[in-house]
């Protein structure tokens, strides 16, 4: 099979440079320094705000000075997930990429194309003086994946553009004009340690190999949640008086959990029964998710006896709450066909010291529905005796049906590819929601190349779509309206 060419070369060269720079969310200092140096070496006005966002301004192509200023925006941070057992330091190691057919992937980690490929397109735009455009401002925000902290911290006046092109979407041929708002709800169980019951069998029960994915964009794709499956197993083991010694399950707040484990004990007489029950439940789970979870695995292995376990009341309350808390799609849109309106993701359950922390995330395109989803989740954990809190969250981005920029983007796509793009909303958070609060007159759209498996080590980038988006971006930029 002929090896696919990485075109446009300038974009993929920039992406290779981006992937050399460690950039975990909230630890983007190396990426900030890289971008500041990049802009300054090009002789362009390069700024950084108090939050850490970087803005690089490039003057218009001669003859296009009368066009309105356009902001081209992406986020510099990435989700840092890796396969179990892989030794990889996201704060120091470069992402190792490879090509598999038409896809670019990473070796055992997230690829970082969310949103490193957007960053690469901005860098190419700034470096290539043959591209026709009016005045542009390339904005690189930080902490998008954890808190939208960069967009949240940006102040009015930092950007001066009338139009904004967000390069953080994941389906080529689709133009996004609305997104969900989100909030994080956490629950905390205070743990008391007790002496382990005598004559106990200690074991570790583990689920792994799930697909996972983005807790917004993939929430309706019928994938299993590792925390929910583990909770069902533990609930069954309550028949035998199971006691928890440790639980570490799930990962990032905005990722559907792929794996997790609990260390438990039961009376020795039930040693074989828990193993037999797990085999039965594993077969049931495989039947429930036979389409979406082909690599699901369950393991139960003996563990050394421990002196202490979590007190029985907390252990029982935690397990019941994890079984009872809603997860997945809450409601579909009233007016957009086949579009998720409201959802919740049970993201992680972790014992640290004497506290078990449960992290969840609620999303909705309607603020009232998001608040209600947070209340539903909190009420379950409140009833179980946990302390709960919900952060202020971030707003959704509401549809502008009279958007001139949308029409420009649609017309540009039709000219290039001879077909209409899909115009839609997304059930994930985009920074456009926060921009719209501080820049209410700014007209925005979002588009990008095709990505799959984002927020997981299965993340991959469909190579041919990069050139399509690159061409589309240039076509939009040279058709921005003139200043009034």
Among 145-154, 180-189, 415-424, which is the least confidently predicted range? 145-154
- The full 3-state SS of the chain, as one line of letters, equals CCCCCCCCHHHHHHHHHHCCCCCECCCCHHHHHHHHHHHHHCCCEEEECCCCCEEEEECCCCCCCCECCEEEEEECCECCCECCCCCCCCCCCCCCEEEECCEEEECCECCCHHHHHHHHHHHHHHHCCCCCCCCEEEEEECCCCCCCHHHHHCCCCCCCCCEEEECCCCCCCEEEEEECEEEEEEEEEECCEEECCCCEEEEEEEEECCCCEECCCCCCCCCCCHHHHHHHHHHHHHHHCCEEEEEEEECCCCEECCCEEEEEEEEHHHHHHHHHHHHHHHHHHHHHCCCCCCCCEEEEEECCCCCEEECHHHHHHHHHHHHHCCCEEEEECCCCCCCEEEEEEEEEEEEECCEEEEEEEEEECCHHHHHHHHHHHHHHHHHCCCEEEECCCECCECCCCCCHHHHHHHHHHHHHHCCCCEEEEECCCCCHHHHHHHCCCCEEEECCCCEECCCCCCCEEEHHHHHHHHHHHHHHHCCCCECC
Task: Say whether pLDDT at 1 is over 60.
Answer: no
Mean pLDDT value of segment 185-195: 96
pLDDT tens by residue, 358-410 = 999 999 988 899 999 999 999 999 999 999 999 988 888 877 778 999 999 99
Specify the pLDDT at position 169: 92
Mean pLDDT value of segment 11-18: 98
| Domains observed in the chain | 9-180+396-477 (3.40.630.10), 183-390 (3.30.70.360)
Task: Say whether pLDDT at 351 is over 90.
Answer: yes
Task: Say whether pLDDT at 104 is over 60.
Answer: yes
Task: Say whether pLDDT at 318 is over 70.
Answer: yes
Q: For residues 310 and 84, which has the higher predicted lDDT (pLDDT)?
A: 310
| Residue 3 binned pLDDT confidence (cut-offs 50, 70, 90) | low
Mean pLDDT value of segment 26-43: 98
Active site residues: 77, 144
Mean pLDDT value of segment 337-346: 92
> What is the overall mean pLDDT for the chain?
95
Task: Say whether pLDDT at 67 is over 80.
Answer: yes
């Amino acid at each position: 099979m002929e090896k696919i060419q990485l075109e446009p070369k300038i974009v993929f060269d920039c992406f290779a440079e981006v992937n050399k720079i460690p950039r975990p969310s909230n630890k983007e200092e190396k990426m900030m320094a890289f971008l500041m140096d990049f802009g300054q070496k090009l002789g362009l006005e390069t700024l950084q705000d108090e939050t850490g966002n970087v803005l690089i301004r490039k003057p218009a192509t001669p003859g296009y000075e009368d066009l309105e200023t356009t902001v081209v925006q992406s986020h510099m941070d990435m989700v840092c997930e890796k396969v179990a057992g892989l030794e990889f330091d996201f704060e120091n190691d470069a992402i190792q990429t490879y090509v598999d057919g038409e896809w670019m992937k990473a070796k055992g980690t997230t690829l970082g194309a969310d949103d490193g490929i957007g960053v690469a397109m901005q860098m190419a735009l700034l470096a290539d003086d043959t591209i026709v455009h009016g005045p542009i401002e390339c904005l690189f925000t930080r902490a998008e994946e954890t808190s939208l902290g960069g967009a949240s911290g940006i102040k009015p006046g930092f950007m001066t553009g009338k139009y904004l092109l967000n390069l953080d979407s994941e389906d080529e041929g689709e133009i996004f004009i609305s997104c969900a708002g989100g909030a994080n709800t956490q629950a905390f169980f205070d743990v008391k340690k007790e002496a382990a019951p005598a004559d106990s069998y200690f074991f570790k029960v583990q689920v792994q190999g799930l697909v996972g994915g983005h807790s917004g964009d993939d929430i309706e794709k019928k994938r299993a949640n590792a925390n929910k499956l583990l909770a069902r197993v533990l609930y069954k083991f309550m028949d035998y008086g199971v006691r928890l010694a440790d639980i570490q399950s799930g990962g990032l707040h905005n990722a559907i959990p792929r794996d997790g484990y609990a260390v438990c004990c039961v009376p020795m007489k039930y040693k074989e029964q828990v193993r037999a029950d797990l085999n039965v439940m594993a077969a049931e789970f495989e039947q429930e998710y036979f389409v979406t979870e082909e690599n699901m695995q369950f393991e139960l292995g003996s563990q050394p006896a421990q002196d202490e376990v979590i007190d029985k009341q907390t252990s029982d309350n935690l397990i019941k709450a994890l079984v009872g808390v809603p997860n997945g799609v809450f409601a579909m849109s009233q007016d957009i066909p086949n579009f998720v309106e409201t959802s919740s993701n049970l993201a992680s359950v972790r014992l640290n010291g004497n506290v078990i922390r449960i992290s969840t995330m609620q999303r909705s395109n309607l603020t009232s529905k998001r608040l209600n989803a947070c209340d539903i989740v909190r009420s379950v954990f409140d009833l179980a005796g946990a302390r709960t809190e919900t952060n202020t969250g971030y707003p959704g981005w509401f549809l502008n049906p009279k958007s001139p920029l949308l029409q420009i983007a649609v017309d540009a796509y039709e000219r290039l590819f001879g077909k209409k793009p899909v115009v839609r909303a997304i059930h994930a958070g985009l920074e456009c929601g926060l921009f719209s609060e501080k820049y209410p007159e700014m007209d925005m759209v979002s588009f990008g190349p095709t990505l799959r498996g984002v927020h997981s080590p299965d993340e991959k980038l469909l190579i041919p779509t990069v050139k399509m988006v690159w061409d589309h971006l240039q076509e939009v930029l040279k058709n921005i309206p003139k200043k009034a």
